[in-house]
Amino acid sequence: MCGIVAYVGHQKAQPIVIKGLKRLEYRGYDSAGISFFNNDTLFTYKTKGKVSDLEEILNGEVSDATIGMGHTRWATHGVPNNVNAHPQASNSGNLVVVHNGIIENYASLKEELISRGFEFHSDTDTEVLVNLIEDVQKKEKVKLGKAVQIALSQVVGAYAIVVFDKRKPNELIAARLGSPLAIGVGENEFFVASDATPFVEYTKNVIYLEEEHLAIIRRDREVRIRKIKNDKLIKPYIEELKLSLENIQKGGYDHFMLKEIFEQPKAIKDTLRGRLLSNEGIITLSSLREHENKFLKARRILIVACGTSWHAGLVAEYMIEDYTRIPVEVEYASEFRYRNPIIFPDDIVIAISQSGETADTIAAINIAKEKGAFVYGICNVVGSTISRITDTGCYTHAGPEIGVASTKAFTTQITVVSLIALYLGKANGTLSRFQYQESVTELDNLPTKVESILSLKSYIEEVAHSFKRAKNCIYLGRGYNFPVALEGALKLKEISYIHAEGYPAAEMKHGPIALIDKEMPVVVIATKKGYYEKVVSNIQEIKSREGRIIAIVSEGDTQVKELADYCIEIPESSESFAAILSTIPLQLLSYYIAVHRNCNVDQPRNLAKSVTVE
């Protein structure tokens, strides 16, 4: 949450920072601000609203400044307004800070600073931090980097910050704990950002700052990195950035979400590439091969995740238990971390996260590690915190997902889970050779099937049109399609603001059926394999109460067609892989409903893609 960009070099900083902020708006977009330093003067512009609103304030003028920083905010402390927007300045006006995270002990620090004569103008924890740094500078008479280091050692919470002191016009200080920061190393120029997208066209050299590290970044010098706690100098590890500009542009689509929905055949192929040799019936996952015994001897597998990734975790539970007979439990990371869970040393914990930065999932991993469990990460963002703190893991390789509502991340997470379940099922003999080979072939064919579902775009858009005025919606599914119902409902509420509930179809009788009348759209996933007949009975029950039925059915279905108002036909598949296929029309349905309602699809209100606060 919140995006940070900073630049020091020889180019004009303002356009680089503004463009970078736009790429980071997925992290929050309720206010934006920029500071740059030119001709001995520090300029700061801030506003409630989006980066485009900030641009309007800048009114087309471009400063010659070659050092600057910016911020796009997802409010934690203080409502979104101009004063609470970042950068936040210190009382003297010498220091400015951009911050992503939460300073938990800000109230006590603030009191102390007030008692020493500091004044506060905003409601933010960041203004406390910048004044704390100033206070340390005054008291200790140390250099900026040292002052930041001392101040941070008094802070409880999470942060990724960039600090600038106008008396040091060639220097930026960056530091992190719990929120990500990447440093782009160019030719005599440096970029700092919450992820690498703001500098992808300028340099392919990136340093991912580690937890509790502080970087001193000076124009024309090498980056110096120190540990905040013990001041130890660390040799920077420069990695090659494997991201291209094309990956992060809309490529002709109206929205990133639509682009990402349509990228799914390729994304699934990329997830499978080099890992699935279907003709030979081989799955190669080095992370599993190296730790095969641990998995096969595991007492249980615990899955921790949040949001859409948690829904992928539910599919994983069904699939891993089904294929391997290893017991699986799935938990919201936010609950797991605080409820004193039982974790045995021979448990395996699988953390699923698109961003690899979700604060609750990171905390759950840390607890699992403390209790001695082996932790496996499934992440999309390469080099993310979760990919680094887990014992091993597997990337989804879906490519950057920018739309706030997760789409291709979900289907590729399930793809990885399928590989894991099949690999382990074969290794421990719980899957017959026939079942294994059949599933491997089916997995290989998934991209083609997804492609054919995407060709139904126009029909789904029509269906969406009929439901654009709905106020509520129920999603029902059984077995593997139950998590899909949850995910379908989440997609709808996230981007169209229609209240939606996902339910196991049979649970309808225990409550939701009371809501059904002729105004209520009910999306039912009724694919052929699994509990088809039972779901058909549920559809009958809805029909008798005049609910409006949108059904996702297998190609050639006749029974449901007679009952439903709209039927979206998808290729037939085994029950487990239906989870991927039936998700696709639900993504498109939510997308078009949101578009018909004129909602901001890629940046829905109050949400952020990367939730780095608990």
The CA-CA-CA angle for residues 264, 267, 269, to 5°, reads 110
Residue with smaller CB distance to ligand G6P, 386 or 424: 386
Tell me the window of 95-103, 201-209, 437-445, 604-612 that interacts with ligand G6P (CB under 6 A): 604-612
Residue with tokens 């074969």: 426
Mark 29-65 as b/e (b = at least 16 C-beta within 10 Å): bbbbbbbbbbeeebebbbbbbbbeebbeebeeeebeb
The minimum distance between CB 580 and ligand G6P, in angstroms, equals 16
100 binds ligand G6P (CB under 6 A): no
The minimum distance between CB 6 and ligand G6P, in angstroms, equals 24
CB 10 within 8 A of CB 66: yes
Instruction: Please identify the residue of the shown chain whose CB is closest to the bound ligand G6P.
Output: 307
Residue with smaller CB distance to ligand G6P, 9 or 399: 399
Residue with smaller CB distance to ligand G6P, 348 or 351: 351
- Please say if 141 is a catalytic residue: no
Residue with smaller CB distance to ligand G6P, 90 or 361: 361
Could you say which of 404, 440, 453, 520 contacts ligand G6P (CB under 6 A)? 404
Residue with smaller CB distance to ligand G6P, 88 or 309: 309
- As a whole number of angstroms, the distance between CA 413 and CA 381 comes to 12
Tell me the window of 98-106, 269-277, 347-355, 592-600 that interacts with ligand G6P (CB under 6 A): 347-355
Could you say which of 82, 83, 607, 614 contacts ligand G6P (CB under 6 A)? 607
Tell me the window of 12-20, 69-77, 146-154, 605-613 that interacts with ligand G6P (CB under 6 A): 605-613
The minimum distance between CB 236 and ligand G6P, in angstroms, equals 26
Residue with smaller CB distance to ligand G6P, 33 or 307: 307
Give CA torsion, residues 415, 178, 88, 22, to 10 deg.
-20
Tell me the window of 180-188, 238-246, 323-331, 603-611 that interacts with ligand G6P (CB under 6 A): 603-611
Could you say which of 44, 324, 406, 583 contacts ligand G6P (CB under 6 A)? 406
The minimum distance between CB 307 and ligand G6P, in angstroms, equals 3
Q: Which of 48, 50, 426, 609 is catalytic?
A: 609
Could you say which of 35, 47, 88, 355 contacts ligand G6P (CB under 6 A)? 355
Residue 570's SS3 state is: strand
- Please say if 306 is a catalytic residue: no
Sign of CA dihedral 308, 309, 314, 320: positive
CB 257 within 8 A of CB 228: no
The minimum distance between CB 353 and ligand G6P, in angstroms, equals 3
- As a whole number of angstroms, the distance between CA 127 and CA 108 comes to 13
Q: Binding-site residue total for ligand G6P (CB under 6 A)?
A: 14
The minimum distance between CB 309 and ligand G6P, in angstroms, equals 4
Residue 358's SS3 state is: coil
353 binds ligand G6P (CB under 6 A): yes
Give CA torsion, residues 283, 286, 287, 292, to 10 deg.
70
CB 150 within 8 A of CB 180: no
- As a whole number of angstroms, the distance between CA 477 and CA 124 comes to 44
In terms of Cα–Cα distance, which of 140, 146, 149, 163 is closest to 94?
163
Residues 358-397, one symbol each (x = binds ligand G6P by CB under 6 A, - = not), give: x--x------------------------------------
Residue with smaller CB distance to ligand G6P, 17 or 359: 359
- As a whole number of angstroms, the distance between CA 513 and CA 224 comes to 62
Across-strand partners of 190? 8, 185
611 binds ligand G6P (CB under 6 A): yes
The minimum distance between CB 158 and ligand G6P, in angstroms, equals 15
Element (H, E) at 481: helix 481-496
Residue 283: which residues within 8 A CB-CB, separation 6 or more? Answer: 275, 276, 277, 419, 422, 423, 426, 440
Could you say which of 86, 176, 255, 609 contacts ligand G6P (CB under 6 A)? 609
Tell me the window of 142-150, 174-182, 349-357, 498-506 that interacts with ligand G6P (CB under 6 A): 349-357
Residues 14-33, one symbol each (x = binds ligand G6P by CB under 6 A, - = not), give: --------------------
Sign of CA dihedral 415, 416, 418, 423: positive
278-337: contacts with ligand G6P (CB under 6 A): 306-309
User: What distances in angstroms separate CA 27 from CA 3, 301, 613, one per listed residue?
Assistant: 6, 31, 11
Residue with smaller CB distance to ligand G6P, 358 or 538: 358
Tokens of 481: 């399609």
The minimum distance between CB 604 and ligand G6P, in angstroms, equals 9
The minimum distance between CB 578 and ligand G6P, in angstroms, equals 21
Residue with smaller CB distance to ligand G6P, 306 or 363: 306
Q: Which of 2, 306, 379, 599 is catalytic?
A: 2
Rounded to a whole number of angstroms, the distance between the first and last alpha carbons of the chain is 10
Q: What is the DSSP string of 150-210?
A: HHHTT--EEEEEEEEETTSTTEEEEEEEBS--EEEE-SS-EEEESSSGGGTTT-SEEEEPP
The minimum distance between CB 306 and ligand G6P, in angstroms, equals 4
Neighbours of 107 (CB within 10 A): 12
Overall residue count recorded for the chain in this entry: 614
Which residues bind to ligand G6P, rule: CB under 6 A? 306-309, 353-355, 358, 361, 404, 406, 607, 609, 611
Active site residues: 2, 609
